[in-house]
Amino acid sequence: MGMPVSRQFSEPVCLIIAGYDPSGGGGVLADLRAARACGVRAVAAVTAVTAQNTFEIARCTPVTTDMLQAELDLLARDFAFGAVKVGMIGNAELAGVIDEFLDTLPDEIPVVLDPVLNATAGMALFEADLLDRLIALFPRCALITPNLPELARLNGHPGDLSGPGIEEAARSLLTTGARAILVKGGHADGATVVDELFTIEGRTCYEHPRLHLPKIRGTGCFLSTAIACGLLSARPLPAAVSAARSLLMAHVGAAWFPGSHNGLLPDSPG
């Protein structure tokens, strides 16, 4: 018998490009959980394999450029992409592979980039002196989702950002070509968490009361993937962000704490 003929699914899928966390807290396992919660099929290309649990990371080994290229090429031959979520990339060389790959996709396919720079436990996951290779991806992205420390680092800011400094930094990233920046405010102080969506047209704020829970891993992965799934379903960006935040909050409220350390998001909030 001959080799089977590859066929594209008629149903568009969300392509996830991110690292593998064996604990399931973050990375592609969290992304796939979010896509499933959104009712969207997803496939994943792995950029790096980590050795970690819910509270510490011991190793992070990026895949080779040839391996990532092969993953992406083979998925593209078999699936119709409706959206792309890019998470932890691993290094500047892999960022170059992703950049070239995204250039092969139609412009109407939305790309959401969560610029993961450090693990929750502190290990650097991208070269600090080569952030320009990461920023080079921004012109292809419909949305970038930095938290406050990531926003500061992407702007070369040495300290914490607050108040007017947040908007100034976000708008600086818009000049790189990104169409929108969602600044996640979870690292700020206060009884209310404020996420701010910046576009050329203006600013939209999303708020929720701060939950007094132990640290929960994977929330940024889940949120960015849920937004990408909303864009795949043709929701306008502000509505996709709002729906993704509501879905995340439902899962956070049912977080699983397997030990005395960081919590994990559940497969379903029920």
Per-residue model confidence (pLDDT) at position 55:
84
pLDDT the model gives residue 3 = 42
Is the residue at 3 inside a domain? no
Residue ranges of E strands in the chain: 13-20, 42-52, 57-62, 81-86, 111-113, 143-144, 180-183, 192-199, 203-209, 216-217, 263-264
Top mean pLDDT of 39-43, 117-121, 154-158 is at 39-43
Please provide residue 131's backbone torsions phi and psi, each rounded to the nearest 5 degrees: -65, -20
Distance from C-alpha of 94 to C-alpha of 96, rounded to nearest angstrom: 5
Q: What is the 3-state secondary structure (H, E, C) of 234-258?
A: CCCHHHHHHHHHHHHHHHHCCCECC
Q: Which amino acid is at 87?
A: G
Cα(181)–Cα(225) distance, integer angstroms:
15
Residue 216 near residue 264, CB atoms below 8 Å: yes
Chain centre distance of CA 140: 15
Residue 50 lies in a domain: yes
Reduce the DSSP state of residue 144 to 3 states and report it: strand
Q: What is the pLDDT of residues 65-122, one digit of tens each?
A: 999 999 999 999 999 999 999 999 999 999 999 999 999 999 999 999 999 887 766 6
Band the pLDDT of 2: cuts 50, 70, 90. Answer: very low
Position 171 in a domain: yes
Reduced to 3 states (helix: H, G, I; strand: E, B; else coil), residue 84 is strand
> CA–CA separation, 155 vs 243, rounded Å?
28
Residue 89 lies in a domain: yes
- Overall average pLDDT of the 45-53 stretch: 94
Through-space distance between the first and last CA atoms of the chain, rounded to whole angstroms: 47
The answer for residues whose C-beta is within 8 angstroms of residue 70's C-beta and 6 or more apart is none
Contact (CB, 8 A) for 174 and 197? no
Rounded distance between C-alpha atoms, residue 44 and residue 177, angstroms: 26
Specify whether the CB–CB gap between 197 and 203 falls below 8 A.
Answer: yes
What's the pTM? 0.92
> By CB neighbour count within 10 A (0-12 exposed, 13-18 middle, 19+ buried), where does 212 fall?
exposed
**pLDDT at 7 > cutoff 60:** no
User: Within a domain: residue 270?
Assistant: no
- pLDDT of 268 > 90? The answer is no
For range 166-172, the mean pLDDT: 92
Is the pLDDT at 1 greater than 90? The verdict is: no
Closest CA to 144 of 102, 170, 185, 180: 180
Tell me, yes or no, whether 79 lies in a domain: yes
Average pLDDT over residues 120-127: 73
Instruction: Name residue, tokens 């990461």.
Output: 134
Average pLDDT score, the chain? 88
CATH number of the structural domain spanning residue 31: 3.40.1190.20
Q: Quick check: is 161 in a domain?
A: yes
- Per the structure, the count of domains in the chain is 1
- Look up the domain containing 113 and give its range: 13-264
Report helix angle 27-37 to 237-252, nearest 10: 110
